[in-house]
Protein backbone atom coordinates (compact mmCIF):
# COMPACT_ATOMS: atom_id res chain seq x y z
CA UNK A 1 0.00 0.00 0.00
CA UNK A 2 2.86 2.37 0.81
CA UNK A 3 4.31 1.67 -2.62
CA UNK A 4 1.07 2.72 -4.30
CA UNK A 5 0.87 5.91 -2.24
CA UNK A 6 4.52 6.73 -2.95
CA UNK A 7 3.92 6.58 -6.69
CA UNK A 8 1.67 9.66 -6.54
CA UNK A 9 2.67 11.57 -3.42
CA UNK A 10 4.96 14.60 -3.36
CA UNK A 11 5.78 14.24 0.32
CA UNK A 12 4.78 11.67 2.93
CA UNK A 13 4.70 12.20 6.67
CA UNK A 14 4.79 8.65 8.01
CA UNK A 15 3.79 8.49 11.67
CA UNK A 16 4.39 5.21 13.48
CA UNK A 17 3.27 4.17 16.94
CA UNK A 18 5.93 2.80 19.26
CA UNK A 19 7.24 0.59 20.80
CA UNK A 20 4.86 -1.52 18.68
CA UNK A 21 2.19 -1.13 16.06
CA UNK A 22 -1.49 -1.75 16.72
CA UNK A 23 -1.21 -5.53 16.45
CA UNK A 24 1.99 -5.90 18.43
CA UNK A 25 4.83 -5.86 15.89
CA UNK A 26 7.59 -4.29 17.95
CA UNK A 27 9.98 -1.66 16.65
CA UNK A 28 11.80 -1.78 19.99
CA UNK A 29 11.46 -3.75 23.21
CA UNK A 30 9.19 -2.04 25.74
CA UNK A 31 11.72 -2.56 28.54
CA UNK A 32 14.29 -0.52 26.61
CA UNK A 33 11.97 2.49 26.79
CA UNK A 34 12.14 2.36 30.58
CA UNK A 35 15.92 2.07 30.50
CA UNK A 36 16.22 5.07 28.17
CA UNK A 37 13.65 7.12 30.10
CA UNK A 38 11.31 7.48 27.12
CA UNK A 39 7.58 7.86 27.76
CA UNK A 40 5.71 6.52 24.69
CA UNK A 41 2.47 8.21 25.78
CA UNK A 42 3.90 11.72 25.75
CA UNK A 43 7.20 11.75 23.86
CA UNK A 44 7.16 12.49 20.13
CA UNK A 45 10.35 11.36 18.40
CA UNK A 46 11.92 12.17 15.06
CA UNK A 47 13.64 9.40 13.15
CA UNK A 48 17.04 10.63 14.34
CA UNK A 49 15.90 10.76 17.97
CA UNK A 50 14.47 7.26 17.69
CA UNK A 51 17.74 5.93 16.28
CA UNK A 52 19.79 7.79 18.89
CA UNK A 53 17.76 6.17 21.65
CA UNK A 54 17.29 2.66 20.27
CA UNK A 55 19.64 2.15 17.33
CA UNK A 56 18.74 -0.19 14.48
CA UNK A 57 16.50 -3.03 15.63
CA UNK A 58 15.31 -5.98 13.56
CA UNK A 59 12.10 -7.87 14.31
CA UNK A 60 12.92 -11.00 16.30
CA UNK A 61 10.96 -13.32 13.99
CA UNK A 62 11.03 -11.70 10.54
CA UNK A 63 14.53 -10.22 10.78
CA UNK A 64 13.25 -7.00 9.21
CA UNK A 65 14.00 -3.45 10.35
CA UNK A 66 10.59 -2.05 9.43
CA UNK A 67 11.70 1.56 9.56
CA UNK A 68 14.41 0.89 6.99
CA UNK A 69 11.96 -1.16 4.94
CA UNK A 70 9.41 1.66 4.78
CA UNK A 71 12.19 4.13 3.95
CA UNK A 72 13.44 1.96 1.10
CA UNK A 73 9.98 1.98 -0.48
CA UNK A 74 9.62 5.76 -0.33
CA UNK A 75 13.20 6.36 -1.46
CA UNK A 76 12.70 4.14 -4.50
CA UNK A 77 10.24 6.75 -5.78
CA UNK A 78 12.51 9.69 -4.91
CA UNK A 79 9.83 11.53 -2.95
CA UNK A 80 10.27 13.64 0.15
CA UNK A 81 9.37 11.95 3.40
CA UNK A 82 9.58 12.41 7.14
CA UNK A 83 9.11 9.74 9.80
CA UNK A 84 7.61 10.58 13.19
CA UNK A 85 7.00 8.36 16.20
CA UNK A 86 3.99 9.09 18.39
CA UNK A 87 1.06 7.32 20.04
CA UNK A 88 -1.18 10.38 19.88
CA UNK A 89 -3.04 10.47 16.54
CA UNK A 90 -3.35 14.27 16.79
CA UNK A 91 0.44 14.65 16.48
CA UNK A 92 0.19 14.20 12.72
CA UNK A 93 -1.82 17.43 12.44
CA UNK A 94 1.35 19.35 13.34
CA UNK A 95 2.76 18.18 10.01
CA UNK A 96 -0.23 17.85 7.66
CA UNK A 97 -3.99 18.30 7.70
CA UNK A 98 -4.55 15.58 5.09
CA UNK A 99 -4.33 12.16 6.70
CA UNK A 100 -4.82 8.53 5.76
CA UNK A 101 -5.40 6.73 9.07
CA UNK A 102 -4.11 3.17 8.76
CA UNK A 103 -5.16 1.74 12.12
CA UNK A 104 -7.68 -1.09 12.17
CA UNK A 105 -9.64 -1.48 15.39
CA UNK A 106 -9.33 2.14 16.56
CA UNK A 107 -9.99 3.73 13.17
CA UNK A 108 -13.34 5.31 14.00
CA UNK A 109 -11.97 7.11 17.05
CA UNK A 110 -8.85 8.19 15.16
CA UNK A 111 -10.78 9.66 12.24
CA UNK A 112 -13.24 11.37 14.57
CA UNK A 113 -10.45 13.04 16.57
CA UNK A 114 -8.57 14.17 13.48
CA UNK A 115 -11.69 15.76 12.01
CA UNK A 116 -12.60 17.40 15.31
CA UNK A 117 -9.19 19.01 15.82
CA UNK A 118 -8.49 20.50 12.43
CA UNK A 119 -8.00 17.74 9.90
CA UNK A 120 -9.16 18.67 6.39
CA UNK A 121 -9.05 15.50 4.30
CA UNK A 122 -9.31 12.53 6.65
CA UNK A 123 -9.67 8.99 5.35
CA UNK A 124 -9.12 5.48 6.65
CA UNK A 125 -8.11 2.36 4.77
CA UNK A 126 -11.78 1.37 4.93
CA UNK A 127 -12.57 4.43 2.79
CA UNK A 128 -10.27 3.30 -0.05
CA UNK A 129 -11.58 0.79 -2.63
CA UNK A 130 -14.93 0.52 -0.87
CA UNK A 131 -16.63 1.07 -4.25
CA UNK A 132 -15.70 -0.31 -7.71
CA UNK A 133 -13.09 1.78 -9.56
CA UNK A 134 -11.89 0.94 -13.09
CA UNK A 135 -12.61 -2.79 -12.78
CA UNK A 136 -10.63 -3.06 -9.53
CA UNK A 137 -11.83 -5.24 -6.70
CA UNK A 138 -13.54 -3.59 -3.76
CA UNK A 139 -14.99 -4.29 -0.35
CA UNK A 140 -17.97 -2.09 0.43
CA UNK A 141 -17.58 -2.44 4.20
CA UNK A 142 -13.84 -2.64 4.82
CA UNK A 143 -12.10 -1.22 1.75
CA UNK A 144 -8.39 -2.01 2.01
CA UNK A 145 -8.62 -3.25 5.59
CA UNK A 146 -7.69 -6.91 5.86
CA UNK A 147 -5.98 -6.93 2.46
CA UNK A 148 -2.94 -9.11 1.82
CA UNK A 149 -0.04 -8.78 -0.58
CA UNK A 150 -0.82 -10.83 -3.68
CA UNK A 151 2.14 -9.76 -5.85
CA UNK A 152 4.62 -6.90 -5.99
CA UNK A 153 1.94 -4.74 -7.59
CA UNK A 154 -1.37 -6.15 -6.30
CA UNK A 155 -3.22 -6.83 -3.07
CA UNK A 156 -5.98 -9.32 -2.35
CA UNK A 157 -8.90 -7.73 -0.53
CA UNK A 158 -10.77 -9.02 2.51
CA UNK A 159 -13.68 -11.34 1.53
CA UNK A 160 -17.07 -9.81 0.75
CA UNK A 161 -20.53 -11.22 0.05
CA UNK A 162 -19.71 -14.33 2.07
CA UNK A 163 -23.12 -14.86 3.65
CA UNK A 164 -24.69 -16.62 0.63
CA UNK A 165 -21.64 -18.89 0.47
CA UNK A 166 -21.76 -20.14 4.07
CA UNK A 167 -25.52 -20.63 3.88
CA UNK A 168 -25.18 -22.54 0.61
CA UNK A 169 -22.52 -24.84 2.09
CA UNK A 170 -24.69 -25.50 5.13
CA UNK A 171 -27.71 -26.25 2.95
CA UNK A 172 -25.85 -28.60 0.58
CA UNK A 173 -24.30 -30.62 3.40
CA UNK A 174 -27.73 -30.95 5.02
CA UNK A 175 -29.18 -32.22 1.72
CA UNK A 176 -26.39 -34.77 1.24
CA UNK A 177 -25.88 -36.02 4.81
CA UNK A 178 -28.98 -34.98 6.74
CA UNK A 179 -26.68 -33.27 9.25
CA UNK A 180 -26.87 -29.61 10.14
CA UNK A 181 -23.44 -28.07 10.54
CA UNK A 182 -22.45 -24.49 11.20
CA UNK A 183 -20.20 -22.79 8.65
CA UNK A 184 -17.99 -19.72 8.89
CA UNK A 185 -15.39 -17.91 6.81
CA UNK A 186 -12.42 -17.03 9.00
CA UNK A 187 -9.36 -14.84 8.65
CA UNK A 188 -6.98 -13.80 11.41
CA UNK A 189 -7.62 -15.27 14.83
CA UNK A 190 -8.03 -13.02 17.88
CA UNK A 191 -5.17 -14.21 20.05
CA UNK A 192 -1.87 -12.83 21.31
CA UNK A 193 1.46 -14.58 20.96
CA UNK A 194 3.10 -14.75 24.42
CA UNK A 195 6.65 -14.60 23.04
CA UNK A 196 6.58 -12.21 20.10
CA UNK A 197 3.73 -10.18 21.67
CA UNK A 198 1.93 -10.07 18.33
CA UNK A 199 -1.83 -9.77 18.55
CA UNK A 200 -2.79 -11.78 15.49
CA UNK A 201 -5.97 -9.90 14.54
CA UNK A 202 -4.80 -7.66 11.69
CA UNK A 203 -8.14 -8.17 9.91
CA UNK A 204 -11.10 -5.93 10.77
CA UNK A 205 -13.05 -8.95 12.09
CA UNK A 206 -12.30 -12.64 12.66
CA UNK A 207 -15.25 -13.84 10.59
CA UNK A 208 -16.93 -11.78 7.85
CA UNK A 209 -19.68 -14.39 7.33
CA UNK A 210 -21.15 -17.24 9.38
CA UNK A 211 -24.38 -19.21 9.82
CA UNK A 212 -26.90 -18.29 12.52
CA UNK A 213 -25.93 -21.06 14.92
CA UNK A 214 -22.62 -19.30 15.57
CA UNK A 215 -24.19 -16.09 16.85
CA UNK A 216 -23.73 -15.15 20.49
CA UNK A 217 -21.29 -15.98 23.27
CA UNK A 218 -20.68 -19.14 25.30
CA UNK A 219 -22.79 -19.61 28.42
CA UNK A 220 -20.41 -21.55 30.60
CA UNK A 221 -19.37 -22.08 34.19
CA UNK A 222 -16.00 -22.88 35.73
CA UNK A 223 -16.08 -26.54 36.76
CA UNK A 224 -13.03 -26.12 38.99
CA UNK A 225 -14.76 -23.33 40.90
CA UNK A 226 -17.81 -25.49 41.58
CA UNK A 227 -15.69 -28.47 42.61
CA UNK A 228 -13.53 -26.40 44.98
CA UNK A 229 -16.30 -24.24 46.48
CA UNK A 230 -19.95 -25.22 46.12
CA UNK A 231 -19.29 -28.96 46.12
CA UNK A 232 -15.96 -29.28 47.93
CA UNK A 233 -17.56 -31.79 50.31
CA UNK A 234 -18.34 -34.20 47.46
CA UNK A 235 -16.21 -36.50 45.34
CA UNK A 236 -16.48 -39.15 42.65
CA UNK A 237 -19.91 -39.88 41.21
CA UNK A 238 -21.67 -37.63 43.74
CA UNK A 239 -19.57 -34.66 42.59
CA UNK A 240 -20.26 -35.41 38.94
CA UNK A 241 -24.02 -35.62 39.53
CA UNK A 242 -24.06 -32.38 41.55
CA UNK A 243 -22.20 -30.47 38.84
CA UNK A 244 -24.43 -31.95 36.13
CA UNK A 245 -27.55 -30.82 38.01
CA UNK A 246 -26.06 -27.34 38.43
CA UNK A 247 -25.36 -27.05 34.71
CA UNK A 248 -28.90 -28.13 33.84
CA UNK A 249 -30.37 -25.45 36.10
CA UNK A 250 -27.97 -22.59 35.36
CA UNK A 251 -29.12 -19.33 33.81
CA UNK A 252 -28.74 -18.82 30.08
CA UNK A 253 -26.16 -16.07 30.63
CA UNK A 254 -24.61 -16.28 34.11
CA UNK A 255 -22.76 -12.98 33.77
CA UNK A 256 -23.05 -12.05 37.45
CA UNK A 257 -22.49 -15.57 38.70
CA UNK A 258 -19.11 -16.21 40.34
CA UNK A 259 -19.18 -19.72 38.90
CA UNK A 260 -18.76 -18.18 35.44
CA UNK A 261 -15.71 -16.08 36.41
CA UNK A 262 -12.62 -17.15 34.50
CA UNK A 263 -14.49 -18.47 31.48
CA UNK A 264 -13.85 -16.84 28.12
CA UNK A 265 -16.25 -13.90 27.54
CA UNK A 266 -15.91 -13.71 23.77
CA UNK A 267 -18.12 -14.29 20.77
CA UNK A 268 -18.33 -17.80 19.40
CA UNK A 269 -17.08 -16.67 15.99
CA UNK A 270 -13.97 -15.12 17.57
CA UNK A 271 -13.23 -18.24 19.59
CA UNK A 272 -13.83 -20.75 16.81
CA UNK A 273 -12.15 -18.55 14.20
CA UNK A 274 -9.06 -18.31 16.40
CA UNK A 275 -8.99 -22.08 16.80
CA UNK A 276 -9.29 -22.48 13.03
CA UNK A 277 -6.54 -19.95 12.32
CA UNK A 278 -4.17 -21.65 14.75
CA UNK A 279 -4.89 -24.98 13.06
CA UNK A 280 -4.54 -23.80 9.47
CA UNK A 281 -1.41 -21.70 9.98
CA UNK A 282 -0.40 -19.50 7.05
CA UNK A 283 -1.57 -21.86 4.33
CA UNK A 284 1.46 -24.09 3.80
CA UNK A 285 -0.51 -27.02 5.19
CA UNK A 286 -2.97 -26.76 2.31
CA UNK A 287 -6.01 -26.89 4.62
CA UNK A 288 -8.59 -24.40 3.35
CA UNK A 289 -11.33 -26.19 5.33
CA UNK A 290 -11.12 -26.79 9.08
CA UNK A 291 -13.61 -29.33 10.45
CA UNK A 292 -14.31 -29.01 14.18
CA UNK A 293 -16.23 -31.60 16.17
CA UNK A 294 -17.36 -31.56 19.78
CA UNK A 295 -16.99 -27.83 20.35
CA UNK A 296 -20.52 -27.50 21.74
CA UNK A 297 -20.43 -30.74 23.74
CA UNK A 298 -21.50 -30.39 27.36
CA UNK A 299 -20.20 -32.03 30.54
CA UNK A 300 -23.68 -33.34 31.28
CA UNK A 301 -23.74 -35.30 28.01
CA UNK A 302 -20.56 -37.22 28.72
Interatomic CA distance for residues 149 and 157, integer angstroms:
9
Tens digits of residue pLDDT in 263-302:
556 789 999 999 998 888 765 666 678 999 988 876 666 5
**Residues constituting the chain:** 302
The mean-pLDDT minimum among 8-12, 176-180, 264-268 falls in 264-268
Residue 73 has pLDDT above 90, yes or no: yes
**Residue 253: pLDDT band with limits 50, 70, 90:** very low
Tell me the C-alpha to C-alpha distance, in Å, between residue 69 and each of 12, 18, 56, 139: 15, 16, 12, 28
Interatomic CA distance for residues 46 and 113, integer angstroms:
22
Query: What is the reported pTM?
Result: 0.83
Domain range list for the chain: 2-156, 163-217+265-301, 223-260
Instruction: Count the neighbouring beta carbons within 10 Å of the beta carbon of residue 158.
Output: 21
| Residue 22 CB-density burial (10 A; 0-12 exposed, 13-18 middle, 19+ buried) | middle
Which DSSP string do the residues of 35-70 spell out, in sequence order? HHT--TTT--EEHHHHHHHH-----TTT---HHHHH
Residue 138 has pLDDT above 80, yes or no: yes
Interatomic CA distance for residues 138 and 130, integer angstroms:
5
Interatomic CA distance for residues 195 and 11, integer angstroms:
37
pLDDT at 255 (0 to 100): 45
Share of the chain above pLDDT 70, in %: 90
- Answer with the residue of higher pLDDT: 289 or 249: 289
Amino acid sequence: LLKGISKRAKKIYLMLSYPADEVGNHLVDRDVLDIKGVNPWSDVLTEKEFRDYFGYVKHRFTGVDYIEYYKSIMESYTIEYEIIFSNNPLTILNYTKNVLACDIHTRFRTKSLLKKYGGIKIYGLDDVLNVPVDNCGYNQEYGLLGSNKSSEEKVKLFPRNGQPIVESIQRKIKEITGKKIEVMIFGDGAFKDPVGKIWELADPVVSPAYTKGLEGTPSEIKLKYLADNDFDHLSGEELKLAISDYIRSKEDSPIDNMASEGTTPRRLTDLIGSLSDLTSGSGDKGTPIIYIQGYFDSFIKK
